[in-house]
């Protein structure tokens, strides 16, 4: 399949959020990535359910929502009601991951599991049959604009092999330090979905930047 691009609105202009969502609507982007941070699981607070509801009213692309929060089970239904199409939880934040993922799918959302840079992807082997996506964090989560962690390539390759060997239909998404300079190598390593925040919204021409991220095959 062709790879997907999911611009992260964490880097958007929140004073003109509707404008930036409309920009993504007009672009070749496939999804809209929304990072939810609680200031506990990660050392930052981003935005919550009211913003997701606002984005959903404007967006014409699926909402790719990443929960970087403790005890995500309390909020699964609320994010579904707010408009999440894909809901990703952190492996490190889930005491009963199988139960959490099953509930996401019962709510008729696609289910993703994210792993931080220090977490081995091998820990996801037994959950692959019931998820739709693995999000490999290529920076330590919490803030945009960080540099890509080079060791991520080996994790991506390991995850790609695990998925293919098991015959699973699971996408690999990456988030953190993604730009037009490393997009091709990431896709060649087996990535299906590129998340890009500052690369898109800090560029002079975000629509053209998204097009460049999409063109790598």
22, 183, 208 from 157: Cα distances, Å: 35, 15, 29
10, 50, 52, 64 from 14: Cα distances, Å: 9, 13, 12, 18
Active site residue 175: yes
Given the residues 30, 38, 64, 175, select the one marked as catalytic.
Answer: 175
Return d(Cα 171, Cα 84) in angstroms, integer.
Answer: 17
Return d(Cα 172, Cα 135) in angstroms, integer.
Answer: 6
* Helical (H) or strand (E) element with 24: helix 17-26
Given the residues 20, 30, 35, 64, select the one marked as catalytic.
Answer: 35
Q: CB–CB of 11/200 below 8 Å?
A: yes
Return d(Cα 118, Cα 116) in angstroms, integer.
Answer: 6
> What is the b/e burial string over 58-93, where b = at least 16 CB atoms within 10 angstroms of the residue's CB?
ebebbbbbbbbbeebeebbeebbebbbbbbbbbbbb
Active site residue 35: yes
| Residues marked as catalytic | 35, 175
């Amino acid at each position: 399949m062709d790879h997907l691009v999911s611009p992260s609105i964490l880097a958007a202009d929140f004073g003109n959020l509707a404008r930036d969502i409309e920009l993504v609507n007009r672009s070749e982007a496939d999804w809209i990535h929304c990072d939810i941070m609680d200031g506990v699981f990660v050392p930052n607070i981003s935005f919550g359910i009211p913003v997701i509801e606002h984005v959903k009213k404007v967006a014409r692309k699926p909402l790719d929502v990443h929960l970087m929060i403790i005890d995500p089970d309390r909020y699964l239904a609320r994010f579904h009601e707010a408009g999440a199409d894909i809901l990703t939880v952190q492996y490190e934040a889930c005491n009963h991951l199988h139960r959490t993922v099953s509930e996401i799918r019962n709510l008729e959302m696609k289910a993703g599991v994210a792993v931080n840079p220090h977490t081995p992807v091998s820990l996801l082997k037994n959950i692959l049959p019931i998820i739709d996506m693995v999000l490999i964090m290529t920076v330590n989560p919490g803030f945009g604009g960080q540099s890509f962690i080079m060791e991520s390539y080996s994790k991506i390759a390991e995850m790609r092999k695990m998925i293919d060997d098991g015959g699973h239909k699971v996408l690999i998404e990456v988030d953190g330090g993604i730009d037009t300079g490393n997009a091709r190598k990431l896709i060649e390593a087996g990535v299906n979905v590129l998340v890009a925040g500052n690369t898109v919204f800090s560029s002079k021409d975000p629509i053209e930047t998204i097009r460049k991220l999409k063109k790598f095959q």
